[in-house]
Structure 1
Amino acid sequence: MTPFGRRVREHRAKRGITLAQMAEGLGVTPAYLSALEHGKRGRPTFTLIQGTIHLLGIIWDEADELVRLADLSHPRVTVDTAGLDAEATLLANRLAREIGALDAEDLRRLGGILDEAAARRDPPA
């Protein structure tokens, strides 16, 4: 499941909307919407994201979060390390090879490291 798909499913459950009802409201098939949620389709289109926000009645911060999650939900990622340090290429290749064996805690810890690095790089104003 993608981050976007997981959050959409949470919002649907809170509102009591089935996958079939949401698909009909968005003008897509239930199979397509299910595939999108489970990462068997690429990143959702801007139109689908906006339709989802409207259909689910999502506003403000939650809408911004859904847009951000959609951007981070492409199931097939390419990491271009050309011109970077050899350590970047090593890390990208190790992650590609080993990500399937990482458990949820490992993934959270790696995400935390990336969050810390971003905070050091871009301190709050």
Structure 2
Amino acid sequence: MQQHWLFLSVAIVSEVVATSALKAAEGFTRLWPSLLVVGGYALAFYFLSLTLRTLPVAVAYAIWSGVGVALVTLAAWLLYGQRLDAAAIIGLSLIVAGVVVLNAFSGTASH
């Protein structure tokens, strides 16, 4: 695995943890979830910045946001019992499909 993919993976996971903790932070009124949010976002942006040394910003951000949206949705379902309707599932599938197309078929992704 090339190092920039590892950095991007850490950035995505950190962002998903931070975003998922936002609900538990209750408007930053609860200390530990709030610290998880701030620390998670700091780690996410640090590792995203390392990723941008070698990957184009458009590609890195598309992957980060697309995979992040899908994982945050999964976390919301598992942690908070949030449900999705058919339109939401189709929309999320289109986001994931866009990331796959970008990586599989675009010359932009290979830097």
Return the structure number with greater helix share.
Answer: 2
- The structure whose RCO (Cα within 8 Å, separation 6+) is larger is 2
Task: Give the TM-score normalised by the residue count of structure 1.
Answer: 0.27
> Which one has the largest radius of gyration?
1
Task: Give the TM-score normalised by the residue count of structure 2.
Answer: 0.29
